[in-house]
Amino acid sequence: PERWSFAHALECLELTIDDQGIDRTSLLGHSFGGGLELAYAARHPDRVVECVSSDTLADRREFRLAQEALRNPVGLLGMASVPAAEAFFKSFVTHPIQLVHAAWWGFTSDRSEDIDSIVRAGIPCHVLWAERDTILQQSDGENFAHDLHATFDTVNRPPGYGRIDHDWMFDDPELFEAHLEELNLQVLSRSGSAA
């Protein structure tokens, strides 16, 4: 396999959207995917209806993210589900260099130009954050939402519910769907006016 690069990953996203015949779309970026979401929206503002970022590493500060992810390595390991751990291990065994390059990019890239482009384009943005994200601090999500001129919502647990952590939208898709509906996203509108 070829060496991982952000430019190639973004090109793959662009080609996927084009191949599906999607003219305009709402984007959802989670964790490392937030960087791709921002880059796509910044480069194609006319094709983006809105952006939703959930517990994302799309922060603008270089190296701050590496400190965040490593501030609680036990918490990082503790939140990994068995399927996620297996997938990570398989990726590491089969594509170690690509995984390291992707991680290095995710932790060291500065996304401020993309954020500024999205703000200038006036793309509506929303940031969702887990109540107890063991990888990223809530204050970083709040700062990210502020910089992006986005709404910010902390995902609180319903009564009797377990903890809500970094990968909450995969752990409980129904809870994730409920929070997306509360955002009144154009993509979920019943009017059919959005893509």
Tokens of 127: 């940031």
Dihedral sign, Cα of residue 158, residue 163, residue 165, residue 171: negative
80-109, pLDDT tens digit by residue?
Answer: 556 666 766 777 677 777 777 777 666 677
23-36, pLDDT tens digit by residue?
Answer: 999 999 988 888 89
Region of poorest pLDDT, from 68-72, 90-94, 134-138, 142-146: 68-72
- Domains of the chain (ranges, CATH numbers): 6-182 (3.40.50.1820)
pTM of the shown model: 0.79
Amino acid at 130: A
| CA pair distance 139, 66, nearest whole angstrom | 16
pLDDT above 80 for 191: no
